[in-house]
Amino acid sequence: MIEGGLTIFAEDLPAQCPPTDAKDVEWIEVYRLLDGPSLAPPAFASHAAKGKPCRPDVDPCRWASCSLVLDVKPMKKLPKFKKCKWAVRISIPEGAGKSKKTSGNHIDFWPYADFVPAATSHTIVSI
């Protein structure tokens, strides 16, 4: 969301965040792991917004991002996600925020203040 020439993000972000190589692009089909079968807040909140202390080995800007993945299946193999039962398959339109693909399957996403996940094309899936 751009207001008065300033970009307004959904969360307060650290300095220099998002990084300069993050772009406002469309993602046709990505996934977000969920705590339950709902897009109600805090479904797209970052670890920082949830009050989780940033680990020393993680960049604070990445900690303040919403993690998305291109494929949910590899995530289920990771120990910390084995208990996760829900994900949303969602299309993120251009104009929703800035993002950066950070590894083979992972995307850091910094949504704009006016991004409403439930207003996008989405399906909640059991995983």
Q: Enter the DSSP assignment of 75.
A: G
Helices (H), 44-114: 60-63
Predicted pLDDT at 61: 97
- The pLDDT of 69-94, averaged and rounded, is 87
In the structure, what pLDDT confidence band is assigned to residue 5 with cuts at 50, 70 and 90?
low
Q: Which of 77 and 97 is assigned the larger pLDDT?
A: 97
What region, left, alpha or beta, does residue 66 occupy, with left being phi > 0 and alpha being psi -120 to 50 degrees?
Answer: beta
Beta-bridged to residue 123, according to DSSP, are: 89
Computed over every residue of the chain, the mean pLDDT equals 91
pTM for this prediction: 0.91
Number of domains observed in the structure of the chain: 1
Task: Name the residue range of residue 107's domain.
Answer: 2-126
Q: Percent helix, strand and coil across the chain, each rounded to 5? A: 10, 35, 55
| Six-digit token string for 14 | 């650290």
For residue 5, give both structure tokens. Answer: 């020439």
Residues 6+ apart with CB under 8 A from 119: none
